[in-house]
Structure 1
Amino acid sequence: MISMQEELNQFERSGVWELVPRPQNQSVLGTRWVFRNKMDENGIIIRNKARLVAQDFNQEEGIDYEETFAPIARLEAIRMPLAFACFKDFVLYQMDVKSVFLNGFINEEVYIEQPPGFQSFNFPNHVFRLKKTLYDLKQALRAWNERLSKFLLKKGFKMGKIDTTLFIKTKDNGMLLV
């Protein structure tokens, strides 16, 4: 229960949705909880995780979403910077974006049911209209990639010509690869 409440609190902080009356002529996607135990290197459970996901099997192309394509990093785009970093003795950092898909803006009008076990007492028949993407939506990956790419380009990064998932910024003697 605590993990589920933490997930919903993250949704509120990120402004993922708003509670609205159920639309008449619009499909409403279901939601479900996915649970996972996070373990340490010894296999001991250190945290329980709960993730609310959309039941995207009801989404119809052209109605609920337009395009799902998002570029995927090629293996070479990962190997080459690693090899270069080893050769030049660079310091490498790994980064994880918490709740990554909750950061992608959604272009379509998408409605989802209230999460199981967390329905509003005052508005039990209302649904959520999404402002940002949710895990398992067909357009989630594309929306996140679009937002990240725009941000990096705005900050002076150059997009790779061969692999568009690689972003490079150089300044004086420094180089930053994302």
Structure 2
Amino acid sequence: MDDEMNSMYMNGVWDLVELSHGCKPVGCKWVFKTKRDSSGKIERYKAKLVVKGYSQKEGIDFKETFSPVSTKDSFRVIMAIVAHFDLELHQMDVKTAFLNGDLDEEVYMKQPTGFAEVGKEDLVCKLNKSIYGLKQASRQWYSKFDKIITQNGFIENTVDRCIYLRVSGSSYIFLILYVDDILLASNDSDLLIQTKHMLSTHFDMKDLGEASYVLGIKILRNRVNGVLKLSQRTYIEKILKRFNMHNCKSSKALIVKGDKFSKAQCPQNDDEIES
């Protein structure tokens, strides 16, 4: 919680002010999450300060909320390119990503529980930056990221707006954005390092090195044989546990994606039903 509050102060997320006449502050709450790695082991404990965005009023507290994310199909296409051309594949994480977004509207928030400033308990937080929970938070973050990345020579994909490409001579680099997770795929180590430096200059980044676990998908590579495998074992086990089916017997699913079914295929008599 202290780390989260320090991030708020460092990013200048709000100013303490007296509430303007006729305005109503939105509430906030603490959300605690246990982050796990690809094997399900606890990686770290996270505390997030979240605005109660459900109390925001459209047209007053926010206007637009839409924000794109890269599709899983695009992700798989990039992985195929990485395997085929034996590209370097690295991963980065944006710390407190939404705090980078600038707010266009005037939004007031109550001071966080347990962190109200002594002697200023009657004041409220006038938000300068978007914060988790705000209706427009993801949109403001995407807008800020897109603006900076395109100013630094990256071109946005016309089909998937969260895939970017930068070409420099014979070198090229793909950047895949999924909210605050970033994948970098390049045929040039120097261009990769240069891109990481550029991102770290503009945002508070965490360099995770070679990509191994992203969006709940484990990446297994054998560069000698040009093989790249994607596994969602941890995610599948998590879903099975959630529905109390983790002890069920596994069997091959004799269904192909795209298969169509109809009532005519249903069993028509007692023998067929038993079969």
- TM (normalized to structure 1)? 0.93
More RCO (CA 8 Å, sep 6+): 1
How far residue 6 of structure 1 moved from its aligned partner, in angstroms, is: 1.1
Match of 1:174 among 150, 158, 171: 171
* CA distance in structure 1 between the aligned counterparts of 2:110 and 2:45, rounded to whole angstroms: 24
Match of 2:22 among 25, 29, 49: 25
Q: Which residue does 1:154 correspond to in 2?
A: 151
How far residue 37 of structure 1 moved from its aligned partner, in angstroms, is: 2.6
Matches within 5 A, 1:1-178: 4-39=1-36, 45=42, 47-178=44-175
Question: Residue 35 of structure 1 aligns to a residue in which SS?
Answer: strand
Q: Deviations over 1:94-134 (max 9, x none)?
A: 11101111111111111100000111111111010111110
* CA distance in structure 2 between the aligned counterparts of 1:17 and 1:118, rounded to whole angstroms: 13
Question: Residue 37 of structure 1 aligns to a residue in which SS?
Answer: strand
How far residue 173 of structure 1 moved from its aligned partner, in angstroms, is: 1.5
> Going by fraction, where is strand more abundant, 1 or 2?
2
How far residue 39 of structure 1 moved from its aligned partner, in angstroms, is: 4.3
* CA distance in structure 2 between the aligned counterparts of 1:145 and 1:40, rounded to whole angstroms: 26
Equivalences, count = 175
1:63–1:94 Cα change, 3 Å: same
How far residue 72 of structure 1 moved from its aligned partner, in angstroms, is: 2.1
How far residue 44 of structure 1 moved from its aligned partner, in angstroms, is: 5.3
Question: Residue 107 of structure 1 aligns to a residue in which SS?
Answer: coil
Q: Is there any run of 5+ residues in structure 2 with no aligned partner, and where?
A: 176-275
1:8–1:74 Cα change, 3 Å: same
Which letter does structure 2 place at the counterpart of 1:36? Answer: K
Name whichever of 66-75 and 143-152 sits farther off: 66-75
Which letter does structure 2 place at the counterpart of 1:175? Answer: Y
1:33–1:91 Cα change, 3 Å: same
Q: Deviations over 1:1-35 (max 9, x none)?
A: xxx11110011111111111122211210000001
Q: Deviations over 1:124-171 (max 9, x none)?
A: 110101111100110001000000000011001111111111111000
1:95–1:42 Cα change, 3 Å: closer
CA RMSD between the two structures: 1.5
Name whichever of 65-74 and 44-53 sits farther off: 44-53
Which letter does structure 2 place at the counterpart of 1:101? Answer: F
Q: Is there any run of 5+ residues in structure 1 with no aligned partner, and where?
A: none
Which letter does structure 1 place at the counterpart of 2:15? Answer: E
1:6–1:155 Cα change, 3 Å: same
1:42–1:168 Cα change, 3 Å: closer
